[in-house]
Amino acid sequence: MLSPVMEFTFVDWGWALAFLLLMVGGAFFFYKLARRSESDFFLAGRGLPWWLPASSVFSTHTATDTPMWITGVVYAHGLRGLWYTFFTAWTAVGAFVSARIFRRSLAYTQAEWQSLRFAGLGSELLRGWLAGWQFFMNMFILGWVGIAMGKVCNLVFGWPVWVGLVVPTLITAVYTLAAGYWGVVMGDFLQGIVAVFAIVLVSLVGVVAAGGPVEITTRIVEMGQEWRLDPFAFTGWTGGDFPALWWLTMLVIAVLGGFGMGTSIDWYVEAQRIQSSRSVRDASYGLWAGGLVTLMRNAFWAASILAFFVLLPGIADAADYELGWFRLGFELLPVGLVGVFFGAILAIHLSTISSHLNLGALYFTRDLYQRYLHPEAGERRLVWVGRAATVVLLVGSFFYGLMMEEITRWLIFALWLMMAGIWLPNILQVVWWRFNAWGYLSSWIANLGVSWLVVWILPAFGILPSLPDHAQFWLLMALGAAVFVPTTLLTRPEPMDHLVRYYVMTRPLGWWRPVHDEAVRRGLIADEPSPETRAGRRPLIRRTWTAAEAQDWTREDWIAIVLSPLVYGCVLFGLVRVLLLQPSGLWLLALAVVGSLAIYWVIDPKLRAVSIEYEQRQAGYAADLERKMRWENDG
């Protein structure tokens, strides 16, 4: 077990305090920007260069419980456990599909997007549904992450769990309340740097402590556990604890999920980062880079957990081995650096807490208060409502963390089930014009019913066996489709006027031909190929674009979409192999570099053209959106 209480010297406390002051002070500095408007308080005025949303994506998804979870799957499964973390790969495709579409919609939130994509009562019900869902989920995530911090502080200092839950979260709330999303994103940047430093440092120290990379692989082979070094060590097609069908299911969920919105719980956080980017191009690169750095982090963690396994191979209790990475840091770092390490844990915690406080407040303010309770509210009032909602979330998260710890554990499982039933609808609402609000809403409600049936009622009565996770996912998806497909086809399509407006604004990918043709007929978009294309001189890879032609989805987009997840995979497994001094890692990293350059070369001219063209229209769209918020021009 971890040493019950760590010895913190004066130097350690000094470092931890210095980091805290840097991170909180740096975020607080942006107080004046946040109070200007709702857009500033929640989206930093939609003016961020790509590297700020990217660092925020990474920092937000590096929470106190993340190293525990990744330690758990790598300790139990070896390198194949990294596939559990590969769900992040939805950003590989999402960066070039859903990010582009969502940024162009100008929706503050996913709930607001529903009312742009769909029309009428159905769209409003969906907006309220998702706003309620997200307000609750952010409170739940805050409680979940907060309790993890409470446990870490309990183990390190012997403090009661509530102290670690409440105190760091309160510190975060101070700058989140004052500086809003400006404080969140600037804090995330500083916290991201601190977190990367600590992750790299502790992981390398762990590898060295286990005798170095060669010793780690040698010892694992000597133990007869060489499967731990193979990411494709399946236990058969359907049986065992890592069947190939489970791997395929995870891969499909992650990669194809990037075509949709909301296919991952992370989407809702990323949507805010996408919308806060200063252009469509910045939104794409921000999401892509944020996801990639997150996977690189996982590679460092994986190498250090293999080292931890070599040092302590026989831990059977998951609650013990999940603390492996924390143990490496607290037990191996010298005096002084332990304080730096704790400062980094604080950074990890603060970044996640601040993001979810601000995001939950956004859904309450924009989608519940402004849309349904007080559409005429002014900017100052909305900023104050945002602050009040932040306090409600804060108090609610303490309640969840302290009083309902068991329920938060249940909800983690529940998230998986919910994703199964709405995963396909989340994609269809983006790529298929005929999918309507009633189809999407029915998929959410049907998912509750079929989950009760498949997960508990039928197994409890012996009608259906308890299914492995991958079988459960596909069955829930199929049963959900049996409800939402007929519902969609038996109800009316969204009004063509509404669809045309949405199409012209966002130019979505997929099956939108009737809407496209109508938009052309109305003279809202051009469908004229360029003289170059007409003359048949289109190059294989096109690098100069007219504004009109850049709007269409072309082979350049598909090249980026296909290459991107491959680059992610090469980086994840290439980096971990390099850290274990395996030559194949260098080849994989070289492929990743070539692939990244190819993506940039192919897609950047097009993204630039799309961004320039769109920015000319953005002010008009934004004004229209605000009129809609006040129920002035609903169509």
| Interaction site with other proteins (CB under 8 A) | 121, 124-125, 127-133, 135-137, 140, 367-368, 371-373, 406-407, 409-411, 413-414, 417-418, 444, 448, 451-452, 455-456, 459-460, 466, 631
E strand or H helix that includes residue 481: helix 469-490
Q: Which amino acid is at 608?
A: R
- Distance, CA of 267 to CA of 279 (rounded, Å): 19
Of 125 and 496, nearer to other proteins (C-beta) is 125
As separate numbers, helices (DSSP H) first and strands (DSSP E) second, the chain gives 29, 0
User: Cβ of residue 147: shortest distance to other proteins, in angstroms?
Assistant: 15
By 3-state DSSP, what share of the chain in percent is helix, strand and coil, each rounded to 5?
A: 75, 0, 20
E strand or H helix that includes residue 439: helix 437-451
User: Cβ of residue 202: shortest distance to other proteins, in angstroms?
Assistant: 33
User: Cβ of residue 413: shortest distance to other proteins, in angstroms?
Assistant: 4
- Distance, CA of 585 to CA of 579 (rounded, Å): 8
Closest CA to 360 of 146, 110, 527, 193: 110
Of 26 and 132, nearer to other proteins (C-beta) is 132
User: Cβ of residue 455: shortest distance to other proteins, in angstroms?
Assistant: 4
Of 237 and 372, nearer to other proteins (C-beta) is 372
Of 296 and 368, nearer to other proteins (C-beta) is 368
Of 459 and 514, nearer to other proteins (C-beta) is 459
User: Cβ of residue 258: shortest distance to other proteins, in angstroms?
Assistant: 24
Taking the CA atoms of 366, 367, 369 and 375 in sequence, report the sign of the dihedral they define. positive
Of 373 and 619, nearer to other proteins (C-beta) is 373
Closest CA to 440 of 456, 423, 420, 416: 423
Pair 197, 47: CB distance under 8 Å = no
User: Cβ of residue 452: shortest distance to other proteins, in angstroms?
Assistant: 5
Of 13 and 456, nearer to other proteins (C-beta) is 456
- Distance, CA of 83 to CA of 572 (rounded, Å): 10
List Cα–Cα distances, 7 to 13, 162, 202, in angstroms: 10, 21, 18
Q: Which amino acid is at 360?
A: G
Crossing angle of helices 120-157 and 379-403, in 10° steps, is 50
Of 128 and 211, nearer to other proteins (C-beta) is 128
Q: Give residues with Cβ within 8 angstroms of 359, minimum separation 6.
A: 134, 138, 268, 269, 272
User: Cβ of residue 94: shortest distance to other proteins, in angstroms?
Assistant: 23
Closest CA to 519 of 511, 527, 530: 527
Tokens of 159: 């403090």
Q: Nearest 5°: phi and psi at 538?
A: -70, 125
Of 423 and 545, nearer to other proteins (C-beta) is 423
Of 317 and 406, nearer to other proteins (C-beta) is 406
Of 15 and 118, nearer to other proteins (C-beta) is 118
Of 131 and 229, nearer to other proteins (C-beta) is 131
User: Cβ of residue 143: shortest distance to other proteins, in angstroms?
Assistant: 13
- Distance, CA of 274 to CA of 289 (rounded, Å): 12
Of 236 and 375, nearer to other proteins (C-beta) is 375
User: Cβ of residue 405: shortest distance to other proteins, in angstroms?
Assistant: 12
Tokens of 594: 């070539």
User: Cβ of residue 386: shortest distance to other proteins, in angstroms?
Assistant: 17
Q: Give residues with Cβ within 8 angstroms of 461, minimum separation 6.
A: none
Query: CA-CA-CA-CA torsion for 91, 46, 194, 269, nearest 10 degrees?
Result: -40
Kindly provide the b/e burial profile for residues 580-592, where b requires at least 16 CB atoms within 10 angstroms of the residue's own CB: bebeebeebbebb
- Distance, CA of 634 to CA of 184 (rounded, Å): 33
User: Cβ of residue 629: shortest distance to other proteins, in angstroms?
Assistant: 12
Beta strands in 91-178 (DSSP E): none
User: Cβ of residue 71: shortest distance to other proteins, in angstroms?
Assistant: 22
User: Cβ of residue 394: shortest distance to other proteins, in angstroms?
Assistant: 17
